[in-house]
Amino acid sequence: MDLRARLTAATKQAMKEKDALRLSTLRLINAAVKDRDIAARGDGAETGVDDAEILSILGRMVKQRQESARSYEEGGRLDLAEQEQAEIEVIEEFLPRKLSEAEVNAAVDAAVNEVGATSIRDMGRVMGVLKAKHSGQMDFGAVGPKVKARLAG
């Protein structure tokens, strides 16, 4: 089942169960995907965005909520921070499993070998391969320095 169908099924289920938080979060996801579909049609695409783009949207939504939760915690608004955390949990249900440290290192090595990277100038190509194959499975902010270290050493 593709991601769009899973989101639709989860939305229907949340409606049946009258789960307000889950339903509102799923509606936010669907709205973000629909916005991206409309933008893609404006760029000449006949169909909506694919699963990889939806994963990218979900990843951005998680990152936004993590930042908001941190801000709320610093401001002493634990109730709002908890709500952000609950939304993160709903969104992460649709993201692929995060890779372990060993799996991330293996993926970096495989990407370096795949593009034949030999210097730091190849970092963009290596990151491109990683993003294409492992979107939503790793934090690319943390992977960037690993790739840089691997290519420098």
- Residue entry with tokens 């908890």: 82
Domain count, the chain: 2
- Residue entry with tokens 């990407």: 111
Does residue 74 share a domain with residue 146? no
CB 129 within 8 A of CB 111: yes
Does residue 126 share a domain with residue 64? no
Does residue 68 share a domain with residue 16? yes
Burial of 29 (0-12, 13-18, 19+ CB in 10 A): buried
Does residue 32 share a domain with residue 11? yes
> Which domain covers residue 88, as residue numbers?
3-92
Does residue 124 share a domain with residue 80? no
Look at residues 52, 61, 71, 9 and name the one whose alpha carbon lies nearest to residue 31.
Answer: 61
CATH number at residue 110: 1.10.10.410
Per-residue model confidence as pLDDT tens for the chain (153 residues): 688 899 999 999 999 999 999 999 999 999 999 999 888 887 766 677 788 788 888 888 988 999 999 999 999 999 999 999 999 999 989 888 888 888 888 888 888 888 887 888 888 888 888 888 887 778 777 888 888 888 876
What are the two backbone dihedrals, phi and then psi, of residue 135, each rounded to the nearest 5 degrees? -60, 130
Give SS3 for 47.
coil
Does residue 145 share a domain with residue 84? no
Q: Is the pTM of this model over 0.85?
A: no
Does residue 107 share a domain with residue 67? no
CATH number at residue 37: 1.10.1510.10
Look at residues 66, 40, 67 and name the one whose alpha carbon lies nearest to residue 52.
Answer: 40
Does residue 86 share a domain with residue 146? no
Token pair in block for residue 95: 């993201």
Look at residues 49, 58, 67, 46 and name the one whose alpha carbon lies nearest to residue 98.
Answer: 58
